[in-house]
Amino acid sequence: MSTPADKVSKEHTFRKYKDGDNKPLAWKDEIFSADTTYKCPTYVHQTPPCQGSCPSGEDIRGWLNIVGGIEKPAEGSTWQEYAFRRSTAANPFPSIMGRVCPAPCEDGCNRNQVEDRVGINAVEQFIGDHALSEKYAFTSGDTKDQKVAIIGGGPAGLAAAYQLRLKGYGVTLFDEHEFLGGMMRYGIPGYRTPRDVLNGEINRIVDMGVEVKLKTRVGTDISIEQLEKDFDSVLFAIGAQSGRAIPVPGAEATNCITGVAFLEAFNDGRLKSVSNKIIVIGGGDTSIDVASVARRLGHITNINEKDRPENVVLGFTAHDVVGVASKQGAEVILMSRQAVEKMNAAQHEIEDATREGVDIRGSLTPVEVILDDGGRAKALRVAKLSYENGKAEVIEGSEHDIPCDLIVSAIGQMGNFEGFTQFANNKGLMDADSHFQMPGKPGFFVCGDIVHPHLLTTVIGQASIAADSIDHFLTHKEVSKRPKVDVHHFDLINKLREVKLEPESFKPVGDEHIRGIDRGVHGTDETGKAVGGFAIHNYEDRSAQKIIPSDELFLGHFKHEDRFKRKETVPSSDEVLGHFEERVAGLSEEETIAEAKRCMSCGMCFECDNCVIYCPQDAVHKTPQEESTMGRYVYTDYNRCIGCHICADVCPTGYIKMGLGG
C-alpha cells in the first residue's frame, strides 16, 4: 500500500491538477476528455532502466525480485539458486561482476529519483558467492554434432563457451596463457578479483564439457587453416592484450612501458617491486589499477640493472622475493588529459586511489619524454590543457617537466595478431557486423575487446549475441534483426509454463479467424470467478521495444530507505604498501534481502495491492492463489470497470496502462 504523504518527497506525490488549474474547460472539451470508459486496465511489461543500461543484458529486476521474495522460486529450488539461475542466464560470472563491474545499471536505476540507487552489485556478489559456496553447477544442453573453436580464454571467450554449451555445441578453447581468465586474471589485480572466486567461476564453465588447450597460440602452434578443417565455426575472442605507447618523442625509452604489460607481469607473479617515481598516463580503470598496484608494491633503493621493473615487465628477468623484501613506498602520479572529475574511471576507484596515496592530476597532456645520457626516461614534459572552448587546447607557456624513473602508458589497447595479421584492421582491432560475424568470412565470428575495448560486462553481452549468431549459422537459419532493447527479457509464457499455468491451445468456435478476448488465463466466468483459457488476458509485452522511465512510475508510493552499503577496507597512504587483501566485504543474507526489497520493479507488478485497494468499483481483484504467479497477480472484472484509470494512477511500477479492455 502507498506510503503516507508525510513519509515521501513532496515532488513525488501524485497530483491530478496543477497550480493554476482553476478554470473549467469548455463543455465540449470536458466531455470528450472524460469519455474514456472504453479504456480499461492493460498490463504492460516494459524493460527497467537498470537492465537497459546493462551491457550484458541481465534480468536484474528479475533476480532482485527473487531475492526480495516477490517472485517465488520454481518447485524444488531455493530462492538463492533460483536467483543464481536467472542471473547467469546472461552472465556466468556473478561473483566477479559483483566486485569489479562499474555498474552502469546503478546509474540508470530509477530509485535514484527517490533517494539513492539500489546496490545491484552488492546483491549480485551475494548471489555469486553463495553459488560458489554451495557448488552450484551448470548443465549443458542436448549434445549436437557441430564443434566450435574459440580463440581466447578471457571473459568473452569463456562466456561464449558457456552460451554455446547451453545450446549443446562442442567447444574447444585455445589460449596462449598458462591459465584461463584473460583480462580478469592478467589485467585486474587479485585484490579486486580474488583468485579462488575467479577460478571457481571459470571451472564451473569448463566443467560443462569445454575442452581447453592452454599454452597454445593460434597462428603459431596451430594454424587458422587447421581450425577451419577441424571445426564447424571459429570465434575470435582474443582480447586487446597489447597496450599503446604514448605518441610523443622519446617514448621508445626502455623504461616507457604499457599498462597492459605492467599488470600482466604483476599478476603473473614476476613483478614484485617498482621504481621510486612513476608516472601513469591514462584516466580509465586500467590506469587506476596500475597506479594502485605500484603503490602496493613500493620500491627498493639500491636496485640492480636486471631488477629494474621494465626489464621484468618485458620478460628479461623476474624479481627475487628475498631481494625485494625491504621496500619503501613509491611516488605515483596518475595524469589524464581529462579533468579529474571527468575521467573515465569509476568515481569510487578514483577516490580509493587518492586515499591510497596516488597523486591524480587532470587536464595534462604529454609532450615529450626527456632522456638521460643512457637513453632512459628521466622526466616527462607535459602541458596544461584548457577546455574553455569545448575542446582540449594547450595553454601556452604551461609546459613543465615531471621527474620520473618509470612511465606507464594506459591510453588504449589493441590486439596481438602474430600468426594471423590478415585479420587486423587499421586500428589494431578486428571488424565485426552487428551480429558479430566477420565480414566476408562465413563461419568466422569475433567478439570482445578485440572489436572495441570496453567493460567486462560489455564483452560478455557480445559473447551472448555471437553465440546466437553461431547457432543460426550452424542450423542454417538467417540471422534476424536484433531487438531494439537487446537484453535477456522476463518471459511470462515460460513463467506460466513453470508453474503449470500455460495457456491452452486455441480451438476456435465458429469463425476460426476470431478469438474471444474474455477467455484469458485470468478472465472471469458468470459468477465473477477467474478462469483459465487460451490467451494471456490483456497483457502486452513491450520489453523488447521500450525502457520505462521514472515519470511513468508512481514515485509517491516509495518511502525513503537508505541503501545497504558493503563495508570497504581501503588502506590509507601509510597502510597501502604490501596491502593485497580484498577491499570489499559482501553483505550478509539479511542485508542482501533488505537491499533487494528496495528495487521498485519498474515495468512489472510487484504485488503492492494498490490497484485492488483504490479501485472504486471493486473491479480489480487478486488472482486466486492457485492461479497466481509473477506478472499475473491481479485481474480486472471488465463488467464492473468504468475506465476511471485510478488503478493506473496508483500503480507504482507503471505496469498498468489504460488501453482497450473489455
Is pLDDT at 468 greater than 70 in this prediction?
yes
pLDDT, residue 278, reads 96
pLDDT, residue 645, reads 86
3-state per-residue secondary structure call for 554-594:
CHHHCCCCCCCCCEECCCCCCCCCCCCCCCEECCCHHHHHH
* Segment 292-304, tens digit of pLDDT: 999 999 987 766 6
pLDDT, residue 535, reads 57
C-beta of residue 227 within 8 angstroms of C-beta of residue 149:
yes
pLDDT, residue 516, reads 43
pLDDT, residue 300, reads 78
C-beta of residue 89 within 8 angstroms of C-beta of residue 649:
no
Is pLDDT at 354 greater than 70 in this prediction?
yes
Is pLDDT at 530 greater than 50 in this prediction?
no
Nearest partner of 68 among 607, 652, 648, judged by Cα = 607
Grid cell locating 102: 562499474
pLDDT band for 31, please (50, 70, 90 cuts).
very low
Mean local confidence (pLDDT), 440-448: 96
Nearest partner of 620 among 603, 600, 639, judged by Cα = 639
Burial of 289 (0-12, 13-18, 19+ CB in 10 A): buried
pLDDT, residue 662, reads 46
pLDDT band for 310, please (50, 70, 90 cuts).
confident
Is pLDDT at 226 greater than 90 in this prediction?
yes
Is pLDDT at 588 greater than 90 in this prediction?
yes
Mean pLDDT of the chain: 89
Mean local confidence (pLDDT), 280-294: 95
Residue whose cell numbers read 577491499: 583
3-state per-residue secondary structure call for 415-437:
CCCCCCHHHCCCCCCCCCCCCCE
Q: What percent of the chain has pLDDT over 70?
A: 86
**Intrachain domains 147-241+415-474 and 244-414 with the same fold:** yes
pLDDT band for 176, please (50, 70, 90 cuts).
very high
pLDDT band for 326, please (50, 70, 90 cuts).
low
Q: Is the pTM of this model over 0.85?
A: yes
100: CB partners within 8 A, 6+ apart: 188, 192, 193, 456
Stretch among 46-50, 325-329, 430-434, 460-464 having the lowest mean pLDDT = 325-329
Extents of the domains making up the chain: 147-241+415-474, 244-414
pLDDT, residue 111, reads 96
Mean local confidence (pLDDT), 515-540: 53
347: CB partners within 8 A, 6+ apart: none
- In CATH, what number does 244-414 get? 3.50.50.60
pLDDT, residue 488, reads 94
Nearest partner of 153 among 577, 524, 463, 458, judged by Cα = 463
Is pLDDT at 130 greater than 50 in this prediction?
yes
C-beta of residue 111 within 8 angstroms of C-beta of residue 118:
yes
- φ/ψ of 149, rounded to 5, equals -95, 130
- In CATH, what number does 147-241+415-474 get? 3.50.50.60
Mean local confidence (pLDDT), 308-314: 80
